[in-house]
Amino acid sequence: MHCQCKFIEEARVPDHTADGLRGLVAAFLSRHDPGGARTDFLRARFDAGLARVDFPVGLGGLAAPRHLQPVVDEAFARAGAPDNRPRRNSIGLGMAAPTLLRHGTPAQRQRFLRPLWSGEEIWCQLFSEPDAGSDLAGLRTRAVRDGDDWVVTGQKVWTSMAHRARWGILLARTAPDAPKHRGITYFVCDMTAPGVEVRPLRQLTGEAEFNEVFLADVRLPDALRVGAVDDGWRVARTTLMNERVAIGGRPLPREGGMIGVLTRLWRERPELRTAGLHAEVLRVWVRAEAARLTALRLRQQLAAGEPGPEGSAVKLSFADLAQRISGLEVELLGEQGLRHDDWAMRRPEEPDLLGRTAAYRYLRARGNSIEGGTSEILRTVIAERVLGLPAEPRAER
């Protein structure tokens, strides 16, 4: 177990208020120089329970209400403290961490959460396969028990950050004769293990954010299994619900994100305006603001529990808006909007939607309706699990 400083003892006091947390941050900063080594500072912040205040005591948190996290983050930001570069490890922070907290063993939580949060270990998601993307439960990657190990064979695709990842969250079929949702087991995969091969997938933008991952007799100890054998689908649902919130529910200020790029262009280039385009800009601005407020409300609801199927609606709206806004920007710019600045093959740590050209944004936004659950699948989730409509006919039933 990591050494815990005396702030953990202070954290046991049940009076978790905004002022109390600001006091804890001030006391922490009096003992830890934010201008020092980034990793050491972030490790100490985790040990002090000031990483994610809603996490359990001893695991980076204070067991405090989730809605108080911005209080802590703002206090550290005002002091010029380094953050953990969350977009660089969005899968680890947004998907792996909540899944491990809910379903992992005490040993797994102690081993993985601290270096995950500090950014020392990057994570990827090994779910989608060439023949099992939208129909995720149809996956074919196999895991066969061999003593205290599992031997994994198969292929994964569209894996963000696999080329940088130390660990991956993996779904594999362990009972091939069981109904497809019941024969899956959830693992943590060592991305440095023999038999793991990562190949880049070049995209429409010229970059290769994504990868295909080949698993050839990869041996994983049973200690890396998360949840019960053949119960991986239940564990995976926790990951998927958090994924959709992580993709579509990031907190933004008004006119933050891609809508801000479009509105700045509209204000700064009056010669491009037409009456028809004015109406379209107004429509997407209203939709973007409604989506932002809906995502904010969802994050507030999360303070009271786990994410549910409502996150699918946020992600669906995000994908549709990104494509509409980027298309409108290209239309506004005309021929200039078609000029792509760089087709070079690169391996970015994250897509730079705001710092590139309109053509790049247009091309990259095409993937928003596929990654993190296709828009078609999300509409089915919303229809069945939010609106309560009759279930879609399924062949396996």
With the C-alpha atoms ordered 213, 219, 224, 226, is the resulting torsion angle positive or negative?
Answer: positive
The rounded distance, in Å, linking the Cα atoms of 299 and 303 is 7
- How far, rounded to the nearest angstrom, does the alpha carbon of residue 309 sit from its chain's CA centroid? 16
CATH for 250-387? 1.20.140.10
Tell me, yes or no, if the two domains 123-230 and 250-387 fold the same way. no
Residue 392 DSSP label: P
Strands 149-156 and 142-146, how do they pair?
A: antiparallel
The two tokens of residue 233 are 């689908």
- pLDDT lower than 50: segments of the chain: 1, 3-14
- What is the signed CA dihedral for 79, 85, 91, 93, rounded to 10 degrees? -20
pLDDT for the residue 106:
97
Q: What are phi and psi of 292, to 5 degrees?
A: -60, -45
Smallest Cα–Cα separation from 66: which of 357, 305, 337? 305
Q: Residues 50, 68: contact at Cβ < 8 Å?
A: no
Instruction: Report helix, strand or coil for 173.
Output: strand
Report pLDDT for 14. 43
Task: Encode burial over 195-219: b for 16+ CB neighbours within 10 A, e otherwise.
Answer: ebebebeebebebbbbbbbbbeebe
Within its chain, how far is the Cα of 144 from the centroid?
A: 29
HSE (side-chain half, CA atoms, 13 Å) at 130: 6
Supply the pTM of this predicted model. 0.85
Burial class (CB in 10 A: 0-12, 13-18, 19+), 137: middle
CATH code of domain 123-230:
2.40.110.10
Q: Which of 209, 243, 310, 329 is catalytic?
A: 243
Provide the pLDDT for residue 302. 65
In three-state secondary structure terms, 391 is coil
Within 8 A by CB and 6+ apart from 46, the residues are 2, 60, 113, 114, 117, 118
Residues 317, 373: Cα–Cα separation, whole Å: 12
**Could you give the residue ranges of the DSSP H alpha helices within the chain?**
6-11, 18-31, 38-47, 69-78, 90-91, 97-103, 106-118, 232-248, 258-268, 275-302, 310-333, 358-365, 375-381
**What is the spatial distance between Cα 161 and Cα 371, in angstroms, rounded to a whole number?**
13
Distances (CA, A) of 19 to 26, 55, 85: 10, 19, 26
Residue ranges covered by each domain of the chain: 1-83, 123-230, 250-387
Residue 125's nearest CA partner among 174, 154, 92, 98 is 92
pLDDT of residue 12: 44
Is 212 a catalytic site residue? Answer: no
Compute how many other C-beta atoms are within 10 angstroms of the C-beta atom of residue 269. 12
Complete DSSP assignment for 101-121: HHHS-HHHHHHHHHHHHHTSS
Nearest-angstrom CA–CA distance, 187 and 131: 20
Contact between residue 21 and residue 75 where contact means Cβ atoms under 8 Å apart: yes
- How many angstroms separate the CA atoms of 343 and 329, rounded? 20
Of the chain, the end-to-end C-alpha distance in Å amounts to: 46
